[in-house]
Chain A
Amino acid sequence: MDAIVIQILNGLDKGSAYALIALGLTLIFGTLGVVNFAHGALFMIGAFCAVTFSKFLNLSHIVIDETRKDFLGNPLKVEVPYIYDFFGQATGDAIIDWAVPLSIIFAIPVMIAIGFIMERGLIKHFYKRPHADQILVTFGLAIVLQEVIKYYYGANPIPTPAPAAFAGSFDFGAMLGFDPNQIIYPYWRLVYFAFAAVIIGAVFAFLQFTTFGMVVRAGMADRETVGLLGIDIDKRFTIMFGIAAAVAGLAGVMYAPINSPNYHMGMDFLVLSFVVVVVGGMGSLPGAVLAGFLLGILESFASMAVVLETLPGINQIIIYLVAIIILLTRPRGLMGRKGVMEE
C-alpha cells in the first residue's frame, strides 16, 4: 500500500512536468497548427533562466586571499559576489538561496519575449507550409538553441538547488495517516506539483472565463470564421504562442532543482511530450493534461522492483507500449478531435 501511494505521488510529480510541456505543445498545435519541435528547447531555456539568474546573483569580484592556496600553490583568488557588497553577506546569501523561485519573475518576460520573437520571426512564415517543413525548421531551431546554451554553459549538468527551506524531505505518509518513515517525500517535488496545478488551472481559467480566451477557443475550432468576423485572430495567436512558451519555460525553471539542468534536457523530454500530446488527443488541452498524469503514473508503477521481477525491461518501454494500446483502441487518443493532424 505504502509502495503504491508513493508511486502515485511520483507519478503525479513526473506527470506534472509532462503535462506542463504537453499543455504548451497543444496550445501551439491547437491554435496555430504548428508541429513545434523546439518546444523541448523552450523547456530547457526555462531551466537555464534559473541557472542564468543564479549566475547573475553570483556575479563576483575577486579578492586575493594570501593565507590560502589554489591547486597550483598560488594565493587563492576568492570570488566575492557583488550582492554581498550591497546587502551584506547574510542577506546576500539568503537572496542567492532563493534564486530559483526569484528567477520566475525573470523567466516570465524572457520566455514570453522568446515566444513572440519565435512566432513573429519564424513560425509565422510556416503556417501554410507542410508539417514536414515545420518539423525541419523547428528541429533546426531546437539544435541551434541547445548548441548556444552548450557553448556558454558547457555540457555538464549545473547544480541549481532549491532554497534551503524546501531542500529536504519530510514524512508525508505520517500526515496522511500511514506508518511513520514509510512515505518520505521531498518538499520541492510537492511544490512542483502544486505549482503545475496552479499553472494548468490558470491556463484553463484564462481560456474558459475571459473574452480573450473565448475568442482563442473559437479560433482553435474555426480560424477562418473568426477571422471573417473581423477579429484579429493572428495577434491573439501570437500571444498564445508567448503564453505556451512561458508555460514551458516555467516548467523548466521549477524543474531545475529536481534535476540539474543540462543543455540536452529539452531533447530528452521532446519525444515523451509528443507521445503525451498524441495519446491525449490532438487539439485537446484536457487530454494533454490527463495523458501527462496517466503516463507519469504508469511509468512510476513500471519502475517498481516487484513489477520488474515479473516483466524485466518493462520500465524501458511502458510509455510506448501504453501509447500503442491507447492509440489502437481510441483512434484519436484519449480526447482528440476529429480531423486534427490526421492527414
Chain B
Amino acid sequence: MSFKNLTRRGVIKTGAIAGAGLALPTYLRADGHSGFTNAPQGDTVTLGFNVPQSGPYADEGADELRAFQLAVEHLNGEGDGGMLQTFSSKALDGTGILGKKVQYVSGDTQTKSDAARASAKSMIEKDGAVMISGGSSSGVAVAVQALCQEAGIIFMAGLTHSNDTTGKDKRANGFRHFFNSYMSGAALAPILAKEYGTDRKAYHLTADYNWGYTTEEAVRSSTEAMGWETVNAVKTPLTATDFSAYIAPVIQSGADVLVLNHYGGNMVNSLTNAVQFGLRDQTVNGKQFEIVVPLYSELMARGAGANIKGIIGSQNWDWSLEDKLGARYTGTNAFVQSFGTKYGFPPSQAAHTCYVQTLLYADAVTRGGSFNPCSVVEALAGFEFDGLGNGPTLYRADDHQCFKDVLVVKGKENPENQYDLVEIVEVTPAEQVTYAPDHPQFAGGSLGTCNPGA
C-alpha cells in the first residue's frame, strides 16, 4: 500500500518537527529560503491542470485533461515520448523536470471566472502547484492569469482566443500559445478575398461579450482593409439558444456574407439556424451567399454536423496538418500517434495547445535551471522553437504571445471518417499575422514584471 505524496506539504512530513513548530508564511508567499512560491521540495513537482469539467465546454476540457496526462507521461519518460522527439530544444530527457518526477492535480473551472479562481487557488494553496494551465475561455484565462501573477505562479493559458489575454489584460507570469482574434482576422482576410472576391457585403453576428467584440473588430478591420463592406453588426446574448430572430433579417439586409463571431454552443446553434434558413442556397448581388466562422474547433464541427460543410474559418492547429502540408509541421504526427494510440481518437486543437504548453513550461524550467517563475519567464520570453506541430514559432517577449502560422480551414464536403471534419484551405505564414506589440487592438495593458511571489 503505497500512496504517493500528492502535495508539497506531504513532503514535509518526514522532517516535520513534532509538536508545534511555526513556519514562515508560505502560501502565496515565498518559501523562505527558495525565494518563490511553492518551490518543489523532495523529488516531485506538482502541476495544476484547471479545465472545464462541467458546463458546455466539458468535452473540450476532458480533451485538454487527456493531453495533460499524456504530457506528464512523456515528461516522466513513459509512453513513446510524443513531441519530445521532434522538439527543437533537447533539454528535456524524460526524467521529469530538473530530475523531479512530475505529478499533477486537476480541477473544474466550470467556465466561470469565480469557480476557476477558486479551483486554481486550491491547487496553489492546498496542493502546492507551481504552474497552472488549461481553460477553455478568455474570461477564465484572464481571471486565472491575474491570480497567478499575484500568487507568483506561472500560468500557461489553454484555449483562449480573445485579444485581451495578451492585450489589455496581459501579465508577466502568463503565457499564451494559442492564436488570437487579430491573427484570425489577418489570416482569414486574404483567403476570403481569394475565395469570395473583394467586393463583398458582410453581416456580423457577434457574441455579446469581450471575446466577441475583439473577434468582430479583428475580422472587420482586416476584411474592410481589402475592400469588403460591413453592412451591419448585431450583438447576440451569450445565453441565446435560438438565433432565428438574428438570422432571418440577414437576407433582407442585402448582405452576401454572414460572419458568425460565435464560439461553442452559440456557434453550433447559429450556424445550424443559418443553414436552416437557407442562407447558403441564396444568391445575393449576383453572388453565392457565404458564411464565415472566424474561430473553428473540431468539437464545434462535430456539433454542427453536416451544416459545417464548406464553411471557412481559422484554426490554431489540426491533427492532419503534417500529413497534408509536410515536414514543416513536424511533431504533429508524433503527437497524434501517441494521443490516438492511447485514447482511440485524434486530439483537438485545445488538447494540442495544452500539451505543447506543458512541454514548453518544462523545457523553460530545465533551460533556466530553476522553477522560479522569473527564471521561467526569462527562458520563455523571446524563445524560438520548432517541432511542436506549428512550424517555427516565437514566444514574443513583449506580450508573451506565440507567433506561428495560422490555418485557414473549411468544413469537409466528403469526410473519409468520423474525425475527418475539416480540410486545410491554406496556411497563412506567421509574418502575415504578426502585429506590433502596441497595436491598437491590444492597447491598454502592461506586462509588468515577473512575480516570484516573494
Contact = CB atoms under 8 A, between A and B. Distances in A.
**Direct contact between the two chains A and B in their complex (CB within 8 A):** yes
Interface stretch (B4-12, B51-59, B122-130): B51-59
B276 A258 contact: yes
B303 A260 contact: yes
A155 B277 contact: no
A59 interface: no
B302 A315 contact: no
B252 A182 contact: yes
A10 B246 CA distance: 10
Contacts of A170: 278
A156 B302 contact: yes
B305 A260 contact: yes
B431 interface: no
Interface residues of A, number: 52
Interface in B407-424: 416-417, 419-420
Given A260-B304, A264-B56, A315-B237, A184 B277 contact: yes
A230 B394 CA distance: 82
A71 B341 CA distance: 10
A133 interface: no
Interface in B205-248: 208, 232, 234-237, 239, 241-242, 244-246, 248
B132 to A, nearest CB: 22
B277 A159 contact: no
B269 interface: yes
Interface in A287-322: 299-300, 303-305, 308, 312-313, 315-316
Contacts of B306: 159, 161
B118 interface: no
Interface of B: 54-59, 208, 232, 234-237, 239, 241-242, 244-246, 248-249, 251-253, 265, 268-269, 272-273, 276-278, 281-282, 299, 302-307, 319-320, 336-337, 340-341, 345-346, 416-417, 419-420
Contacts of A303: 234, 236, 245-246
Nearest to B420: A71
Interface stretch (A114-122, A185-193, A215-223): A185-193
12 contacts: A9-B248, A10-B248, A14-B245, A150-B58, A154-B59, A155-B55, A158-B303, A169-B276, A170-B278, A182-B251, A259-B272, A305-B234
Contact of A156 (B59, B232, B307, B346): B59
A22 to B, nearest CB: 16
Given A3-B252, A155-B59, A169-B276, A71 B303 contact: no
A3 B276 contact: no
Interface in A42-68: 68
Given A181-B282, A184-B277, A315-B236, A70 B244 contact: no
A7 interface: yes
Contacts of B269: 157, 259-260
Given A157-B268, A158-B303, A76 B252 contact: no
Contact of B268 (A167, A260, A300): A260
The 10 closest A-B pairs by CB, nearest first: A159-B305, A169-B278, A155-B58, A303-B245, A157-B303, A300-B245, A186-B276, A156-B59, A10-B244, A6-B248
Contact of A186 (B265, B277, B337): B277
A72 B340 contact: yes
B174 to A, nearest CB: 27
A99 B104 CA distance: 44
Contact of B251 (A72, A181, A305): A181
Contacts of B57: 155
Interface string A1-31: 0110011011101100100000000000000
A339 to B, nearest CB: 33
Nearest to B302: A156
Interface in A249-265: 258-260, 262, 264-265
A227 interface: no
A3 B302 CA distance: 32
B67 to A, nearest CB: 16
Given A13-B244, A71-B319, A264-B56, A188 B252 contact: no
Given A10-B244, A260-B268, A2 B277 contact: no
Contacts, number: 139
B303 to A, nearest CB: 4
A301 B209 CA distance: 21
A173 to B, nearest CB: 10
A7 B345 CA distance: 43
A168 interface: yes
A157 B271 CA distance: 13
Nearest to A77: B417
Q: Which of A13, A260, A265 has the most CB of B within 10 A?
A: A260
Contact of B278 (A186, A265, A300): A186
B267 to A, nearest CB: 10
A315 B235 CA distance: 9
Contacts of A11: 245
Contacts of A300: 244-245
A265 B241 contact: yes
Contact of B232 (A258, A305, A316): A305
A189 B243 CA distance: 12
Contacts of B241: 259, 265, 268-269
A328 B44 CA distance: 63
A71 B59 contact: no
Contacts of A7: 245, 248-249
A70 B320 CA distance: 11
B239 A184 contact: no
Given A154-B59, A155-B55, A168-B281, A188 B232 contact: no
Nearest to A179: B252
A189 B56 contact: no
A83 B445 CA distance: 59
Given A13-B244, A154-B59, A260-B305, 16 more contacts: A3-B249, A6-B252, A71-B417, A155-B59, A161-B305, A161-B306, A184-B248, A184-B282, A186-B277, A260-B303, A260-B304, A264-B55, A299-B245, A300-B245, A303-B236, A308-B234
Nearest to B283: A181
A308 B235 contact: yes
Nearest to B57: A155
A2 B336 CA distance: 51
Nearest to B237: A316
Nearest to A264: B56
Given A189-B244, A265-B241, A268-B239, A159 B282 contact: no
Contacts of B320: 71
A312 B249 CA distance: 17
Contacts of B336: 71-72
Contacts of B346: 71
